[in-house]
A and B are shown apart, each in its own frame.
Chain A
Amino acid sequence: MTETDAIVMEGISKTFKKAQKPSLYPTDLRIESGSFVTILGASGCGKTTLLKMVNRLYEPSSGKILINGQDIARIAPTKLRRQIGYVIQQTGLFRHMTIEQNVAMVPGILGWDKEKINRRIDDLLNLVGLSPSEFRKRYPGQLSGGQQQRIGLARAMAADPSIMLMDEPFGAIDAINRAALQDEILRIQKQLHKTILFVTHDIMEAMKLGDKVIVMNEGKVQQFARPLDILRHPANEFVRDLVHSDDRLQRLAFVRAKDVMNTEAAVPDPDKEAPEAPENSTLHEILMLLLGGRTDYVQIKDEKNNPVGRVTLKEIRRA
């Protein structure tokens, strides 16, 4: 156990009553603090079981889970859950309460004073991109699916938990809004450095969002690695079949510029006006820029807008 691990699982397994075999076989995992980890697998693979043991909605049949070094079996479930954000696919918004009442639920239980709760509601609504003046007094039923899930996210973050558990949060949202929400959750995670465990069955989503991806099948972790490592070095046949795609364009959507860029050629060429892209861009996006630009490379920049490398067709071919 190091101080940088937010969640440590030691030999946890889960067999439900009357079940023939375990939903989750004994599993060890370490989730680094501040990392975005996606859990990828088909339904019934044990990914939701794994997630729900972290906030004790399920109790493990064996093993233990530490959160920030503390054994969660020794924390009262209600107290534990108030420190962990939880977002589910169906949102589970309280339809008889206004948006502000929904968001204020946990701070209210924790006994925050009114003014602090009020400020928090405004901050959170702004964070998820919904105008407080317009949305505070509305009811969930008056919102679109995408807006409802933004509120679900705001509500889960209300008491500023350091850990967020998300169970297919964007699974019921149409493709356009889903992409927007994925970008938002990435931005929010970068901004607030939350540790996020994010369950999905969508490989594109898992690869796009995760700093690391846990690939699961039949109750076992098949591989836990960075997206690029999963692509390049699949741990077994199952993972290989999962990530193998004949569609090269689609493959490029899994790989990020920062993982393959040529860092030796970081300094921009003053004579050429090369297109620029942030280091988190996918090679799919870089390729589009290359095709549209007049130079043979794309300049990659970090968050502070410093040049950190270049991507040419050579890097893309190797990916």
Chain B
Amino acid sequence: MIAYIENNYLEVITLFLQHIEITVISLAIAVIIALPLGVLLAKNAALAAIIMPVLSVIYTIPSLAMFALLIPVVGLGLEPAIIALVAYSLLILVRNVIAGFRSIDPAVIEAGLGLGLSRWQLFCKIEWVLALPAILGGVRIAAVSIIGIAAIASWINAGGLGVILFQGLNESNTPQIVWGTILVAGMALFVNYFLSVLESLALAKSKGADVK
């Protein structure tokens, strides 16, 4: 077990960093799309009824099939991987953004408008803070999913920790398979923990508490 790392640590570190890169880029793009989309859909139920089923269908496509479908369009490598990962995480993120904004007590909105806050002031000073815990919950689940699915993306030459796993499988190298699994799972666990701390801080803040 230890021997594998001793002999391959440079490659493992490179693949580990690559995995982080894929995850961060995909998550960032997905969040940038999901935030405005979620805000829009939270206030427009008719549009949500059209878009959410589309996102759900995308979510149900098996990841291997999705990667295969993207090969004729964008070829192999990082690009199709990121496109697929963004597409997968959109459902989770958008759903949570919508849930976050819809969970706000209508009386708070009414009072805010009644006091004379503009829609924009209401969004920046009030709604955003109250929706943040649910949004961060979505980011957490999306991040963990992306880390897992990104391992499969090495199948289309996107790199990352999946490379170790697939090599191990091809060569029936058990220590390698185990190391690949430990690293992917460890990364997912760490990210999950880190984001759940942020989430509970945001929750405390939204409920009224001094967050230092």
Q: Looking at the assembled complex, report how far the CB atom of B136 sits from the nearest CB atom of chain A, in whole angstroms.
A: 15
Cβ-based interface call for B32 (8 A): no
With a cutoff of 8 Å between Cβ atoms, the chain A residues found around residue B108 in the complex are 92-95
In whole angstroms, what is the CA distance A140 to B205 when docked? 12
The interface residues of chain B, by DSSP majority, are classed as helix
> Residue B114 contacts which of A79, A86, A141 (CB distance < 8 angstroms)?
A86
Say yes or no for B72: interface residue by CB 8 A criterion.
no
Q: Contact check: which of A57, A79, A82, A98 meets B110 at CB < 8 Å?
A: A57
Residue among A90, A92, A152 with the most chain B CB within 10 A? A92
Contacting residue for A78 out of B117, B126, B206, CB 8 A: B117
Answer whether residue B112 sits at the interface, using C-beta atoms and an 8 A cutoff: yes
- Asked if B144 is at the interface (CB within 8 A of a chain A CB), the reply is no
Do the beta carbons of B208 and A86 come within 8 Å of each other? Answer: no
Are the CB atoms of B208 and A88 closer together than 8 Å? Answer: no
Contacts of B118 in A (CB 8 A): 78
Instruction: Give CA–CA (A140, B116) in the complex, Å.
Output: 20
Given the known interface contacts A139-B208, A139-B209, the answer about A88 and B107 at a Cβ–Cβ threshold of 8 Å is yes
Q: Complex Cα distance A42/B180, Å?
A: 68
CA distance in complex: A140, B126 (Å): 14
> When the two chains form their complex, are residues A106 and B110 in contact, meaning their CB atoms are under 8 A apart?
no
Residue B129 at the A interface, CB < 8 A? Answer: yes
Given A78-B117, A106-B116, A109-B117, residue A96 in contact with residue B111 (CB < 8 A): no
List residues of chain A with CB within 8 A of the CB of B110: 57, 88, 92
Mark B186-212 against chain A: 1 for CB-CB distance below 8 A, else 0: 000000000000000000011111000
B121 and A142 within 8 A (CB): no
Report whether A96 and B207 are in contact in the complex, using a CB–CB cutoff of 8 Å. Answer: yes
A93/B111 in contact, CB under 8 A: yes
Flag whether B6 is at the interface (Cβ < 8 A).
Answer: no
In chain A, positions 124-164 with a C-beta closer than 8 Å to chain B are 139-142, 152, 155-156
Query: Smallest distance from the beta carbon of A19 to chain B beta carbons, Å?
Result: 19
Q: When the two chains form the complex, which single residue of A89, A92, A152 contacts B112, counting CB atoms closer than 8 Å?
A: A92
A95 touches B207 (CB 8 A): yes
A129 to B165, CA, bound (A): 68
Task: Name the interface residues of B96-149: CB closer than 8 Å to any CB of A.
Answer: 105, 107-118, 121, 125-126, 129-130
Name the A residues within 8 Å of B130 (CB-CB): 95-96
Chain B residues with CB under 8 A of A92: 105, 107-112, 114
CA A9 to CA B205, docked complex, whole Å: 43
Instruction: State which of B114, B121, B129, B209 has its C-beta within 8 Å of the C-beta of A55.
Output: B114
Among A86, A93, A96, A165, the residue within 8 A (CB) of B205 is A96
A304 to B111, CA, bound (A): 38
Q: B115 to A140, Cβ gap below 8 A?
A: no
Residue in B closest to A110 when the chains form the complex, CB atoms? B116
Complex Cα spacing A96 to B129, Å: 8
Q: B107 to A105, Cβ gap below 8 A?
A: no
| Chain A min CB distance to B45 (Å) | 15
Instruction: List B contacts of A81 (CB < 8 A).
Output: 113-116
Taken together as a complex, chains A and B put the C-alpha atoms of A165 and B116 apart, in Å, by 13
**What is the minimal beta-carbon distance from B56 to any residue of chain A, in angstroms?**
29
Taking CB atoms, residues of chain B closer than 8 Å to A90 are 105, 107
A264 to B117, CA, bound (A): 53
Residues of A within 8 A of B109 (CB): 92
**A and B contact pairs by CB, cutoff 8 A, 10 listed:** A78-B117, A79-B116, A81-B116, A90-B105, A96-B205, A96-B206, A98-B208, A105-B115, A109-B116, A141-B208
Apart from A95-B206, A109-B116, A141-B207, list 15 A-B contacts with CB within 8 A. Answer: A77-B116, A78-B116, A86-B114, A88-B110, A90-B105, A95-B207, A96-B207, A97-B208, A98-B208, A106-B115, A109-B117, A139-B209, A141-B208, A142-B208, A152-B111
